[in-house]
């Protein structure tokens, strides 16, 4: 399943200048080496350890705590949601994150980069759904994944609620991509994501259809890594993960 929204509008007159990356002023040493242990410590400092957010939100049930993390003006709680797994592991002292590129044979979002994930089945929580989907799409054994944290939920343009679950693996996982869904599995270090020239953001003039409660500026994030352009909701989650890892503030 893809979680990326439709492409940006073609009216480039509505594209505004965005600022430098939020980590541009950090010392090179902080950006060049990001360990898995450092990521976990950082997630603890911002209260994002565990399989799901703590506390509660509007309504009841397994989605309530997640919905409580959404910004004001978000759509009502949907009947169903989707979960994605953000798989992290470490090699040579560098935290790495695993990503996929969707098959070009799929009906929608062909060839886009995403995390493994999909719709949560009845009776599942976000962690169980993310682990099941990762197994179905790329063959990651749920038994080798330790669910350690979460990123903020978000809505896509088609109002699908996405719940990002962070999983830690003790080593590089063995993967078996399902050719009907996944064209490529690859991974990058978090340090690569925040290297010079990899990240950029665009700010677009208000588009009512993109807003939760009327016209407002819309920011899009992009990472160019491993010959792939990562954007949309996937880039938004990587953006949050990078900010947490570097100890920088994130606003949902």
Name the range with the highest mean pLDDT among 1-5, 126-130, 157-161, 178-182: 126-130
Q: How far, CA to CA in Å, does 122 sit from each of 53, 61, 144, 159, 179?
A: 20, 12, 24, 19, 26
Per-residue confidence (pLDDT) for residue 112, from 0 to 100 = 82
In a domain, residue 250? The reply is no
How much is the average pLDDT of 52-66?
74
Q: What is the mean pLDDT of residues 46-55?
A: 92
Q: Of residues 203 and 206, which shows the higher confidence score?
A: 203
Confidence class of residue 102 from pLDDT cuts 50, 70 and 90?
Answer: confident
| Residue 45, pLDDT score | 97
Half-sphere exposure of 252 (CA within 13 A, CB side): 15
What does the pLDDT read at residue 79? 66
The number of folded domains in the chain is: 1
The enclosing domain of 150 has a CATH number of 3.90.79.10
Within a domain: residue 5? no
Predicted pLDDT of residue 36: 98
Does 180 reside within a domain?
yes
How sure is the predictor about 212, in pLDDT bands with cuts at 50, 70 and 90? low
Residue 34 lies in a domain: yes
Residue 30 falls inside a structural domain: yes
Residue 89 is part of which domain span? 14-245
- Identify whether 3 is part of a domain: no
Using a pLDDT cut of 90, give the percent of the chain over it. 60
pLDDT of res. 4: 38
pLDDT at 202: 84
Instruction: Please report the beta strands in the chain, taking only residues with DSSP state E, as ranges in sequence order.
Output: 15-16, 82-91, 94-102, 113-114, 117-119, 145-150, 154-155, 161-169, 182-189, 199-204, 218-225, 228-231
Please indicate, yes or no, if residue 220 is contained in any of the structural domains.
yes
Contact 85, 179 (CB under 8 A): no
Residue 181 has pLDDT above 80, yes or no: yes
**Alpha-carbon distance 21 to 62, whole Å?**
35
Q: Would residue 209 count as lying in a domain?
A: yes
Question: pLDDT tens digit string along 79-97?
Answer: 678 999 999 999 999 999 9
Three-state DSSP at 149 gives: strand
């Amino acid at each position: 399943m893809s979680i990326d929204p439709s492409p940006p509008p073609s009216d480039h007159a509505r594209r505004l200048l965005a600022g430098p990356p939020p980590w541009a002023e950090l010392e090179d040493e902080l950006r060049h080496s990001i360990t898995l242990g450092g990521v976990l410590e950082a997630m603890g400092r911002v209260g994002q350890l565990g399989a799901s957010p703590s506390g509660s939100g509007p309504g009841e049930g397994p989605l309530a705590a997640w919905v409580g993390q959404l910004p004001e003006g978000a759509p009502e709680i949907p009947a169903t949601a989707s979960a994605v797994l953000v798989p992290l592991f470490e090699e040579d002292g560098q935290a790495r994150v695993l990503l996929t590129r969707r098959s070009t044979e799929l009906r929608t979002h062909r060839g886009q980069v995403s995390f493994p994930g999909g719709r949560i089945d009845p009776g599942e929580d976000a962690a169980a759904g993310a682990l099941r989907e990762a197994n179905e799409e790329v063959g990651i054994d749920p038994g080798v994944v330790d669910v350690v944290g979460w990123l903020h939920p978000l809505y896509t343009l088609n109002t699908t609620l996405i719940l990002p679950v962070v999983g830690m693996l003790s080593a590089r996982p063995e993967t078996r991509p399902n050719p009907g869904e996944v064209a490529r599995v690859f991974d990058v270090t978090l340090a690569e994501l925040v290297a010079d020239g990899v990240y950029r953001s665009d700010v677009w003039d208000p588009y009512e259809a993109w807003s939760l409660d009327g016209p407002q500026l819309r920011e899009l994030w992009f990472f160019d890594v491993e010959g792939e352009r990562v954007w949309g909701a996937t880039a938004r989650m990587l953006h949050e993960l990078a900010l947490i890892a570097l100890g920088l503030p994130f606003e949902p």
